[in-house]
Amino acid sequence: MVLKENVWSQCRLDRAFGNAEWFSLFPRTHLQYLERLGSDHRPIFLSMVSQTQRRRGRFMFDKRWSTQPAVCDIIKKHWRPVERSDGRDVTSVISSCRKDLAQWKRSDAGNSKKQIMQLRLQLEGEEKKCF
């Protein structure tokens, strides 16, 4: 906010721009507005790499998941007794279990990241009401 002629006005500083020449030089550019933390401005993240090039991160099991019935069901499904005739080995069981747990994590309504995003959006809505 800026005081001009004894009147408060809001300013937008969170912007980025580029012209046709710039975009032709950097065709795989992606601009992302990050979350506002501790400031009334949103940081801008400019990526020069295509978003389609994703690197799979390392899977980490969160011990809080062990209280979720869906997680227990996924683990039981994959870690049923292994018989020599079914062709499964430990590596394939771990891999398929990890995939299902990762999918559950992304889709579950109890996902902490989703809850944080929802609360931040609510907070932003309340902040806008003040202005």
pLDDT, one tens digit per residue, over 17-76 is: 777 787 777 777 777 888 877 777 778 888 775 444 455 678 888 888 888 899 999 999
The length of the chain is: 131
Note whether 3 and 45 are same-domain residues.
Answer: yes
Which among 36, 53, 70 is the end of a domain? 53
**pLDDT beyond 50 at 111:** yes
Which among 9, 37, 53 is the end of a domain? 53
Note whether 49 and 90 are same-domain residues.
Answer: no
**pLDDT beyond 80 at 113:** no
Note whether 41 and 63 are same-domain residues.
Answer: no
pLDDT for the residue 50: 46
pLDDT for the residue 100: 92
Note whether 104 and 62 are same-domain residues.
Answer: yes
Note whether 27 and 87 are same-domain residues.
Answer: no
Note whether 16 and 44 are same-domain residues.
Answer: yes
115 token code pair:
């809850």
Domain count, the chain: 2
Q: What is the mean pLDDT of residues 66-89?
A: 80
Note whether 73 and 130 are same-domain residues.
Answer: yes
pLDDT for the residue 52: 47
Beta strands per DSSP E along the chain = 2-4, 7-9, 30-33, 44-47
For residue 127, give its domain range. Answer: 56-131
pLDDT, one tens digit per residue, over 3-15 is: 556 665 555 566 6
